[in-house]
Chains A and B, each alone.
Chain A
């Protein structure tokens, strides 16, 4: 028996994918903000990759200065609302809240943050603007958290900014990759529209930069180029049968889901391959789409999963079952997916070893591969002199984001290998300053 019935309307979709962190009303925000202790040298700030002055904005909310609170948040992080909703706050700010040590519920920092920023966004209040035009121009490739954050900061510093985005909407994985119960498309896009109205950068949608010729044009026209390209498609597993119908990548599956909601069909019996946070999302989502059984298959032991504990709990909470120490060896079926052949594994001295003769087939009608995203090495090879590390990540100065090609700067997943929205937002701000320092020489 499925936990959720298959949603057939937008209404049903919204119910199955109800927001985990719904926006607070004024009373809730008042009560919650009243609990904040205003710690000295607050651990929550230190735990925030973007260093938002959390006690300050909570105090501002408490005194009825919601606008000031939004300003405090955006000064540190342009994805203020998105981060409030999608950040793994359990392991960041809220995980650091001193109340945890007292066995008292930590302050709901994420929801308070979204309370303040949502108010600012909805009111359209003008909090920031572009700096005086300094005559220089920067091209930003990718309108994800890194690209948009860089664009905002660069505009504040007086640069002309053109953002080139392959897809039709801004915010990258925030609108194409995050689970729908974490943030809605409307919320995501409203923040993007708000930022663009404040800072006035240009975004060219459906404008993939993919050839040397296009890059060359950018190099000629712009003083610097910011790479906020993120990661690519889901890694191929290299298994027989991977091309069967209904075997899909998690990133692609979630992107479809975010755009087409209940119109996305899911199998009756879904197997998700992987043990990271994306695997948890894909499994949860399959269940919420009405799959009868959802199996999460991971090569190693439960304790070795890369996913946050609360993400696994969330998946379990919607009926997902875990299958551990199994490695897929083949996707079976005749045209359509009919099952996954696994082999059992054990971990010896930190290495996964297959147990000979332990193969078995787990029937299913859909396979979602959440086995990591490929790096965009092919595209990056088009940039002269750009160095990557052994894992395909762009090498760049930790303080300025400048790559080995001095005209190119990088932030976000393409640089850090794949992290949270908040990391990209924080890095891009730093890198924008790196660009400014470089162009001000």
Chain B
């Protein structure tokens, strides 16, 4: 059996799944329950200055029948007395000595940082996570993302913390910045042991159409919140990758953002994370999701022959390049498997209206046909097709040629006119604008429109 345990910058944990610093880690009760359920670690809800919360704190993004594909919150750090949190950390550590308990911290002055680090250390925390990420509320008081967005301030605070920290220090980064590697580098310069990312993204999840106010609504008003949930995973993955590929950061990464099952976790790990943190999924489905996550991860490792988490960390990084390094000689063409096609024609209308008019309809069948010479291999049809493996993108180049934009640039072969073999209008034809007007059939003609157009099948064969 593969070994799921990790040693993350010196913090040991029976598996790579930690609960992120958030409402699920608000109390010893919740953390113990989570450990009991199978979670490997927990980053405690941020300890720090006294705060007072508002009522109505979360907003959700639903997509069709799916709830909470996106989620945001305007809740602040822990509003419980520091002494209670510290006492409970101690209790949890006694009961679960092999699980990771990390104290998330957010205060202001150097003295405050020193005090809270020492107190958490004394309580038995296995490490610290500096919360430089909250994009709402706390930042208005000069903390959270206000720090994460100022690399110099961030570095200074990390230095303060390192003066007293005897346990590993993780710096949690905010994504509300144009280049995530800048605060990551500042964390490294400050002496941090690791980074975690991403914190939530500044957001408005929706607007109430009747009250004209953003969600969540607090007495008729609202404010920006921090966005998380499945929808943010792509942003998180890219930022994790950016930090993992940076030649100078060289810090362990705890991946956060949109992780709700083992697949999401593996993606984070393959792009360089060596532990992962989960919040929204636990808030949505409860701690029980951990069983699916560990079992899925374990099965994947068995199938791939990975013995430890470290065997797979960053495994996809060599394949993430700059655009200019991609092979421009590679060519794929869409192929419709007629036996699987159910005739929804979504590929047709998607290609017609959203791509390169490379699919046509033929009389007598609902199975569309790919116009191969016009297919640029964009993937759109295969993405909209509702049938698994019905539209496949097949490689149609010889597979022997390799030429990148960078190589062309270095060879002085940058096109100055639109005459390249791949250019639109040369490689694939583009219809004349007016040809669009004759295409009534490009929309369904229901009800009255059909009556007018004489398309309705008239039931009675009787003619006067």
Name A's B-contacting residues (CB within 8 A): 30-31, 33-34, 37-43, 45, 49-56, 62, 72, 75-77, 98-99, 101-102, 387, 389, 393-399, 402-404, 415-417, 419, 423, 426-427, 429-430, 433
Which chain B residue lies CB-closest to A74? B447
Given contacts A40-B348, A402-B464, A404-B464, contact A423 B448 (CB under 8 A): no
> Is the C-beta of B459 less than 8 angstroms from some C-beta in chain A?
yes
Bound-state CA distance A43–B65 (Å) is: 24
Given A41-B441, A430-B458, decide whether A98 and B344 contact each other with a Cβ distance below 8 A.
Answer: yes
Residues from chain A with Cβ under 8 Å of B450 in the complex: 51
Contact with A along B63-77 (1 / 0, CB 8 A): 011100000000000
Contact: B65 with A51, CB < 8 Å? Answer: no
Say whether B460 faces chain A, with CB atoms less than 8 Å apart. Answer: yes
Bound together, the chains give a CA A40 to CA B342 distance in angstroms of: 12
Q: Can you offer 11 A-B residue contacts whose CB atoms are under 8 A?
A: A37-B344, A39-B343, A40-B344, A40-B346, A40-B444, A45-B444, A53-B447, A76-B446, A77-B447, A398-B460, A415-B460
Question: In the complex, how many angstroms separate the beta carbon of A269 from the nearest chain B beta carbon?
Answer: 39
Which residues B174-194 have CB closer than 8 A to chain A? none
B389 smallest CB distance to A (angstroms): 12
Which residues from chain B contact A403 at a C-beta distance below 8 Å? 464
Complex CA–CA separation, A433 to B346 (angstroms): 34
Asked whether A49 and B451 contact (CB < 8 A) given A41-B441, A42-B444, A62-B64, the answer is: no
Within the complex, the shortest CB–CB distance from A303 to chain B, in Å, comes to 25
Which residues 425-464 of B sit at the A interface, judged by CB distance below 8 A? 441, 444-448, 450-451, 454-464
- Contact, CB under 8 Å: A430 / B456: yes
Q: How far is the CA of A37 from the CA of B385 in the complex (A)?
A: 10
Instruction: Return chain B residues, CB-CB under 8 Å to A398.
Output: 458, 460-463
- Answer yes or no: B349 CB below 8 A from chain A CBs: yes
Q: Does the CB pair B462–A37 fall under 8 Å?
A: no
Expressed in whole angstroms, the Cα–Cα distance for A102 and B390 within the complex equals 11
Say how far B461's CB is from chain A's closest CB, in angstroms: 8
Which of A49, A76, A395, A417 contacts B464 (CB under 8 A)?
Answer: A395
Using CB atoms, name the residue of chain A closest to B446.
Answer: A53
A76 and B451 CA atoms in complex are apart in Å by 9
Chain A nearest CB from B367 CB (Å) reads 10
Given contacts A40-B349, A49-B457, A433-B451, A397 and B463 within 8 Å (CB-CB)? yes
Interface residue from A45, A419, A423 paired with B446 (Cβ < 8 Å)? A45
Q: How far is the CB of A235 from chain B (nearest CB, A)?
A: 21
Residues of B within 8 A of A404 (CB): 464
Return the chain B residue nearest A38 by Cβ. B346
Assess whether A102 is in contact with B342, with CB atoms less than 8 Å apart: yes
CA distance A305 to B77 in the complex (A): 72
Q: How far is the CA of A404 from the CA of B64 in the complex (A)?
A: 53
Name the residue of chain B whose CB is nearest to the CB of A55.
B444
A187 to chain B, nearest CB (A): 23
- Residues of A with C-beta under 8 A to B387: 102
Tell me, yes or no, whether B392 is within 8 Å of chain A by CB. Answer: no
A6–B41 CA distance with the chains assembled, in angstroms = 64
- Chain B residue numbers with a CB within 8 Å of A42 are 444
Contact A52 B346 (CB under 8 A): no
Is B261 part of the binding interface, using a Cβ–Cβ cutoff of 8 Å?
no
B455 neighbours in A (Cβ, 8 Å)? 51
Picked from B343, B451, B462, the residue with its CB within 8 Å of the CB of A394 is B462
A396 to B462, Cβ gap below 8 A? Answer: yes
Chain A residues within 8 Å of B386, by CB? 37, 102
For A430, the chain B residues whose CB sits under 8 A away are 451, 456, 458
**A410 closest partner in B (C-beta):** B460
10 smallest CB-CB distances across A and B, nearest first, come from A53-B446, A76-B447, A40-B345, A34-B65, A34-B64, A40-B349, A398-B458, A101-B342, A98-B342, A39-B344
Query: Are B345 and A39 in touch, CB under 8 angstroms?
Result: yes
Looking at the complex, which one of A72, A77, A101 makes contact with B343 (CB distance below 8 Å)?
Answer: A101
Considering only CB atoms, which chain A residue lies closest to B447 in the complex? Answer: A76
Chain B positions within 8 Å of A40 at CB level: 344-346, 348-349, 444
Chain A positions within 8 Å of B118 at CB level:
none
Q: Check if B458 sits within 8 Å of A39, measured CB to CB.
A: no
Q: How far is B462's CA from A395's CA once the two chains are assembled, in angstroms?
A: 5
Q: Which residue of B lies closest to A64 (CB)?
A: B209
Of all chain A residues, the one with the shortest Cβ separation from B441 is: A41
- Docked Cα-Cα span, A38 to B344, in Å, equals 8
Residues in B whose Cβ lies below 8 Å from that of A56: 446
Contact A429 B451, beta carbon cutoff 8 Å: yes
> Chain B residue with minimal CB distance to A391?
B462
Docked Cα-Cα span, A430 to B349, in Å, equals 30
Contact call B343/A43, Cβ cutoff below 8 A: yes
Q: How far is the CA of A56 from the CA of B348 in the complex (A)?
A: 18
Contacts of B408 in A (CB 8 A): none
Knowing that A34-B64, A72-B446 touch, tell me 14 more A-B residue pairs with CB under 8 angstroms. A31-B65, A39-B346, A43-B366, A51-B445, A51-B456, A53-B446, A75-B447, A393-B462, A396-B464, A398-B461, A399-B458, A419-B459, A426-B456, A429-B451
Instruction: Name B234-269 residues within 8 Å CB distance of A.
Output: none
Q: Knowing A51-B447, A419-B459 touch, does A387 contact B346 (C-beta < 8 A)?
A: no
Contact A396 B460 (CB under 8 A): yes
Among A38, A45, A53, A427, the residue within 8 A (CB) of B460 is A427
Report chain B residues within 8 Å CB of A51.
445-447, 450-451, 455-456
Taking a contact as CB atoms under 8 Å apart, the answer to whether A389 and B446 are in contact is: no
Closest residue of A by beta carbon distance from B384: A37
